[in-house]
Every structure is written in structure tokens, then in C-alpha cells.
A = this chain, B = another copy of it.
Amino acid sequence: MSEINKTLFTAALVIIGNEVLSGRTQDANLKFLGTELNKIGIRMTETRIVPDTEAEIIDAINAMREKFDYVFTTGGIGPTHDDITSACVAKAFGLGHGRHPEAEAILLAYYKPEDVTPARMKMSETPHGAELLLNPVSKAPGFRVENVYVLPGVPHIMREIFSGFKHYLIGGEPVQSKSITAYIPEGRTGGPLSDLQDRFPDVEIGSYPFNRDNKYGAAIVMRHTDMERIEIVAEEVRKLVRDLGSVPHDD
């Protein structure tokens, strides 16, 4: 884990599931986590999407947990045979794996005795020593081992669990952003924006093209921890857009 007084905190997401790779399921968790982590000063810096295969899951978790302050995983912690994330996390850390007493108690209290199945109780298994991440929706918890946070793939459940522990995450200064839209093709803004980036290397300037109503344009997004600094560059962007004969729109 990082030092508290550093300023840049990074995160990676490992999305686990054949269904996301095959195109059957559209992932919605990266967008949520990228946005929410940024609000607390943690920058999503890499994401890997891997199949339900033990070696791939273990490799991704081990590569990411060394490289980033926080690692989140989504998917593969349900009750079915293709849910192998928990066992993989244990192997990634070289830990034993079995029923977590607190998770077991939560599930036994939640299900009627006739609904307690071996498949459901599999959801009480964690790497030894894991800390539970409580699930207010469907009870089966996520868990944390060191800097790895293991969450379900179903978006509304993942979000509720995340909301329960996000206040414990240590971040830096949140990155602020401002977006200015211009109906000018990037081929014309590209040169002046590059010059502007050279003049203000500390402000990250991104240009994201779009086509709306058959008109090409771009959202020009500035990012920095200091909104006053962003506003200086934003005023330059507005001028640049006007100089190209168009009208800048603050988004």
C-alpha cells in the first residue's frame, strides 16, 4: 500500500468473465468505478478483461497488484461452477481458501434452512484472512486481501458494496475536469491544441471526436487537480475555437 502523503493514487480493474469477451454482456462496471474512484482522488490506470480461466485470472491479479495502489476485480464470485475468482485470488496470494466464518453466518441467517444449498454456501468461501465487503442487496459478500478488492459482476450489487467501503479508501486530490464542445473537425483543432498542450504541459488536454446530426465535432476535455488552472486553459480553448470561426460550448 502507498504512503498516505503521496498525491497520485492509481487503480486497476480486472474484469473476469467469458461473457464480456464474447460480446454477450456489455461491461458497465469500469465506467462506474473509473468515475467514482476519480471523485476520491484515485485514478483508474489500467483494466484487463480476462476469461474464466484460472491461470489468466491469477496472472492478471498478480501483475496488477504489484503495479497499482488498488486493484478491483468484478465477476466470478457467484454460486456456480464457473465462479472461480475467490479460489484464484487465494492462489495469487499463496493463501488457503475456505469458508469465512462471518460470511457463513451472514448467509445462514439470510437463507431459509430449506434454501441453504452447497452452491450458495460456496459464496462464503474466501482466501484465509480476507476482510469481508458487505453486500446489502443479496448478502453474499465481496472481500479484500491486501490491496485487492473482489466484487461481483452484477452492476447494481457491485455498486452497493462499493458504496459501503469507498470511504475507507485513501486517495489524493481528485482530478477536476472541464469539457468544451466545438463543432469543428479535429483536423482543424488538432494543430492549435497541440501547441496549447505544449504551453500548458501540466494540464492534460484530451480531444474526443463525435459526429452528431452529420456534423463532426470534438469535446475538448481539460483535466487537472486545480480548477483555476483548468479555467486558464479553458479560456484559451474558447479563444482557439472562436479563432477557427466557430462557437465554443461549455458542456
Footprint of B on A, CB under 8 Å?
Answer: 18-28, 30-36, 38, 43-52, 56, 78-82, 111, 115, 117-120, 122-123, 138, 154, 156, 175, 177, 186-191, 193-194, 197, 204-211, 216, 218, 221, 223
Contacts and interface: CB of A to CB of B under 8 A. Distances in A.
B21 A209 contact: no
B26 A31 contact: yes
Contact of A78 (B31, B49, B207, B211): B207
Contact of A204 (B18, B28, B36, B193): B18
A119 B23 contact: no
Contact of A119 (B28, B187, B204): B187
Given A23-B30, A80-B190, 7 more contacts: A20-B47, A24-B34, A26-B28, A79-B186, A117-B188, A119-B188, A122-B190
A81 B205 contact: yes
Q: How many copies does the complex hold?
A: 2
Contacts of A50: 46
A127 to B, nearest CB: 20
B18 A206 contact: yes
Contacts of A38: 22-23
A21 B26 contact: no
Given A119-B190, A190-B117, A19 B206 contact: yes
B122 A208 contact: no
Q: Looking at A193, A210, A216, which has the most chain B CB atoms within 10 Å of its CB?
A: A193
B21 A45 contact: yes
